[in-house]
Chain A
Amino acid sequence: MTAIIAAIANLKGGVGKSTTTVMLADGLSYFYGLNVCVVDLDAQANSSQMLLTERGVQMAYEQGKGATHLLSSFIKGEPANVADFIMPNAVSLEELRIAEENDDRLGWISSLPSHPHLRLQEMGLEETWYSQAGTPTSLANKLAEHFKTGFDVLREYYDIILFDCPPHLSPLARAGLSLSDVFVMPTIADAVSTWGTKQFSDWVGANVAPDLPSRNFVLITRFRNTGYSKQIANELQEVYLKDRWFGPKIPESVHVLNAMERAAPDSYDTFRGKYGGVKGDVKRLSERFTDFLSQQRAGRKWQKMRD
C-alpha cells in the first residue's frame, strides 16, 4: 500500500469539513474495503469526537495518543513516529467489526485524534518560535519536514490518510496541506462561502503548491434544495471553480446529524442504520471520490467490495 494523503480543508468554518472527513472514512472503508487513517489537525477535535465519542477522545489523550503528543515530539526534537500516536480502532460500522472478528478484515478506520489542548500547545510553540525570529511560514515548513518521514512510513500501512483541518491556517494545518497529495474543499452554496472558496484555493496555490488547486475535489455540503442554492451551486460548478472535480451535493439533513453522534465508545451500527436517509449520498460521495483518485493516480484500482 502507498496511501494517498487528502487534506479536507477550507478557511471557512462550519462548512462540513469534519462531517465530510467521517463520511469519506466510512464510505471508503465500507464500499471499497480501504484501510483509512483519519488524522485530526483541529483542536476542536470534532471528527475525533464523531469517530471515538467525547470519552474516547479524552481516553486517547490520557493514553498518550493523538495530535497533541505528536506535536510534543516536534517540540522535544524527537523523531515523529506517527504510528505510536494512532488509535488503531475508530470503526463504528458493524459490518467492518464483524469481518474483523472473523479474521477477514475488509475495510478499517484508525484515528490520530485531536484534543482541545492542541490549540494551547500550538500557541505555546508559536510564541517560542516567533520570539526566536521564526515566521509562520518557517514554522509550517519545519513542521512539514519533521512529519514527512513519519507520514511516509505511515503511507505503507494505509490506503488513504485523511487530514481534517481547522477553519484557520494553524501551523499544523499548513504543514498538513503541504504533505497532501490532494485536497478536498467542502463548501456551502451561499455567497460568503463561495467567495471563501476562491480565497482559500488561491492561498493554497500561492503558499502551499501552485498545482494543488488542480488536485482539488469540491463538495457542496448542507445543501438545501432552494432556487437560491441551486443557482449558487451552478455558478460554482460552471464558473468560479470550473474544471475542478465536484462530489455529489450532500443535503442538509437530520440523518447526517444523527450519523455523526456515536452513542458510546463501544457502540456499533450497520451502514444502513448509521446513515439512514443519506446512505445513497455517502455511497455516491465515495464513488465520485475514488473516480477522482483514479485520475490523480493512474494505475491505481479502486474496487467495490460491498454495495
Chain B
Amino acid sequence: MIKIENIRKSFGDEEILKGISTVFEKGKTNLIIGQSGSGKTVMLKCLLGLFQPEEGYIYYEDKAIQEMDEEQQRHLREEIGMLFQGGALFDSMTIEENVMFPLRMFTKKKKTEMLARVNEVLARVNLEGVNRKYPAEISGGMQKRVSIARAIVNNPKYLFCDEPNSGLDPKTATVIDNLIQEITHEYSITTVVVTHDMNSVMEIGENIVFLKNGKLVWQGNNEDIFKTDNKDVTDFVYSSDLFKKIRDIQIEEQ
C-alpha cells in the first residue's frame, strides 16, 4: 500500500502538483489517468523519489520516504520495479543480462540460481529463446515484456509503469495490460500505472485516479467511470470517437 498526503511539486514558478492525497492499494492495478501535461509522470517520479515534493508525505506501508534514512531508501528501491515508457532496456546488454541485472546488483545469488530465476520470469512473460539477443534485435512488444521481466525479477512489492502500452498496436497493448494485472494479483503487488489510454482504463482500471491541472478531480474504478457525471471525466472518456459512438448507441437503445 502506498499513501500520499497532500503532495505539492513546483518547477520554478509553475506548480505542477497542487496538493494531492490518495491511497494506492496492494494487490490492485491502480491507474493514474489524465491528459498529457496533467502531471502524471511528475506524480510517478515523486512516488519513486526521483523528484522531491516541496510539501506533503508519501508513505510506503506506514513509513514516509521523507523520514527514511539513506539505507532505508536504498532498501525500498530494491523492492520497487519500474517499467519505463520506452522499456529503457540497457542496449549494451543481452536480454538475459538485462533481466539478470537487478539480481547481480542486489543479491548474492550464484550465477546458476540467477539464470534459473531469469528463465523463470522470461517464461512468465511468454518470452523464450531470446536470451542471447540484444534489445535492438527484438520487437517493441517483446522489449516491453523483457522490461516487465526485469521489473519483477527481484520480487518487487511495488510496480510502477509509465504508459506501458504507448507505441504498441492495440492487441499487443492488451496483452501487456493483462500481463501487468495478472502479475499484480499473482504476487499481491501494489501496482501504479500511468496512462492516458481508455483501453487500459477498461481492461485494468481497478482503482483510477483522475488528474487535471495537477489536481485529483475524481477517483473510482472502471465501472464507476462510465456512470459519473463529473464533466472533466466525461470529457476525457468521450474524447475518443469510439466511446462517443458506443455511448450514442447505448442511449438510442434505452
- Real binding pair: no
Query: What is A's interface to B at a CB cutoff of 8 Å?
Result: none
